[in-house]
Amino acid sequence: MALLEVNNLRVWDAHTKRVIVHNTSFTLEEGKCLAIVGESGSGKSVTCRALAQLNKKSLCQDGEIHFRNERLQILSEKQMRKKRGKNFCMILQNGMTAFDPSCKIKVHLFETLKTHLNWEKKRSERKMIQAMESVNLKNAKEIMNKYPHQLSGGMLQRIMIALALALEPDIIIADEPTTALDTISQCEVMEQLRKIRLNMNCAIILVSHDLGVVRNIADEVLVMKEGKVLEKGDTPSVFANPAHDYTKYLIKTRSTISDNFIKLMERSNLVKS
């Protein structure tokens, strides 16, 4: 049985009636990584936010989304809030937008753990220190006492990954997690996602336009353009024998990573054999 099963997901703008995601279907197995790829505006992020019912209110959706054979559409907002964080955990592309700029980092972390796990402050602090150290964030207490603008994009991304470690979700949805980062930080973030997957048997949905990254971490690939799924299959097959011209175009123009990034990934054992 699939961990997550999506059938004929459709998302449209309630005001303009424009369809943003057209009848999209896919499955995600436990412990596997599914990459959703395509250029900007292809519907990748809207699709992922639809899974956790996090799209803005002006967007409507229908279709079937089952998590562990439970239909999510029939759940109330209160019930869905319990799913988010514990069952679904999102890592956004810009760490700065994930945190309230007026609050210290620890406020966001402790409130999230209180909401989803009902942990008191001291337990949350202990768990976050442990999780942050595991993603190579030293001086965790000092970091948690800072405001988001005082930290780099790479550090904020790793804090979100550390929070995912503490929450131990079934699925991590990583929406362009390396877009705003430099090459070294990209490698570090992808390494941490790989470690979470291996150590926790956590499934990952990776949204990306960088096929170089996708090729080295994903088990399956789903190619989107203008809200439509053009191709899907296991990663080696899609890269070796792309069936759609658009996939061929993406592979040709988007799959090049810098030599330094490739070397860093090889050193971290991130490149699949």
Q: What is the pLDDT of residues 167-208, one digit of tens each?
A: 999 999 999 887 767 777 778 888 888 888 888 899 999 998
Q: 3-class secondary structure for 27-94?
A: EECCCCEEEEECCCCCCHHHHHHHHCCCCCCCEEEEEEEEECCEEHHHCCHHHHHHHECCCEEEECCC
pLDDT tens across 176-185, in order? 887 767 777 7
Token pair in block for residue 129 = 């220190």
CATH code assigned at 215? 3.40.50.300
pLDDT band of residue 210 (cuts 50, 70, 90) is confident
24 within domain boundaries: no
Indicate if the pLDDT at residue 262 is higher than 70: no
Q: How many domains does the chain have?
A: 1
> Out of 12-16, 241-245, 260-264, which region has the weakest mean confidence (pLDDT)?
260-264
77 occurs within a structural domain: no
Say what the pTM is.
0.87
Q: How far apart are CA 213 and CA 217, in angstroms?
A: 7
In a domain, 147, yes or no: yes
Residue 18: inside a domain, yes or no? Answer: no
In a domain, 67, yes or no: no
pLDDT tens track for 39-89? 889 999 999 999 999 999 999 999 999 999 999 999 999 899 889 888 999
Q: Cite the DSSP H helix spans in the chain.
A: 44-51, 77-83, 95-98, 105-117, 121-134, 140-144, 153-167, 183-200, 211-217, 235-240, 245-254, 259-267
Q: Contact 173/52 with Cβ under 8 angstroms?
A: yes
Name which residue leads in pLDDT, 134 or 225.
225
38 φ/ψ angles, rounded to the nearest 5 degrees: 155, 170
Domain assignment present for 205 = yes
For residue 2, being part of any structural domain is answered with: no
Q: Is residue 165 part of a domain?
A: yes
Mean pLDDT of all residues in the chain? 89
Domain of 255, in residue numbers: 30-48+85-267
- pLDDT (tens digit, 9 = 90+) per residue, 138-170? 899 999 999 999 998 888 988 998 998 899 999
- Provide the terminal-to-terminal Cα distance of the chain, rounded to the nearest Å: 28
Q: In this structure, what token pair is assigned to residue 142?
A: 């000092």
